[in-house]
Amino acid sequence: MRIEASLRRPGRPDGGHLCRATIAAVLLPRPVPLESDALAALAELLGIMTDQLVFSAEQQRWSIAAIADLSERIAYAQLLDESTMVLGLDDVALLIDGMAFTEHASAELPWIELVRWASDFIVGELRPFWSEQEWHEYMAGPR
């Protein structure tokens, strides 16, 4: 499934059209309300995941394309000062996995409590937009 999102800002002379982004294969898309601080935190998490992919000799289970796609969509939402953005179940699974990695990697660092709080936020705020059955089917299926 492909979703085309036209990003608009009302009140502009050109009708509000700023850019056009194609969201590649978003699985079970949902509109998710996110404050600007939450968007910034998610962008930071994706940056950590990108650094891990680029600078680590270890093989990671993340796709650079998936991280780049989600990073771009978050950047557009930040640019437009949006309070809601479309996320797919696969997007949130990627964020949860990245958060689990970050939490594990930060276990001995002084800011582990902040990392745990962010992890709880991501799981608690984003996961409930999909049913337990949808999560189970996603986890059982090929990715």
What is the tens place of the pLDDT at every residue in 18-60? 344 444 467 899 999 999 999 999 999 999 999 988 888 777 7
| Mean pLDDT value across residues 95-118 | 90
**DSSP letter at 100?**
H
Read off the pLDDT of each residue in 109-121 and give the average, rounded to a whole number. Answer: 88
Rounded Cα–Cα distance for residues 71 and 81 (Å):
15
Q: How far is 68 from 48, CA to CA, in rounded Å?
A: 12
State the pTM of this model: 0.78
pLDDT at 129: 95
Separation between Cα atoms, residue 38 and residue 92, nearest integer Å = 13
pLDDT of residue 46: 95
pLDDT of residue 39: 93
Closest CA to 98 of 44, 38, 35, 49: 49
* 67-85 average pLDDT score: 94
For residue 89, what pLDDT is reported?
95
pLDDT of residue 66: 93
CA dihedral 37, 40, 2, 141 (to 10 degrees): -90
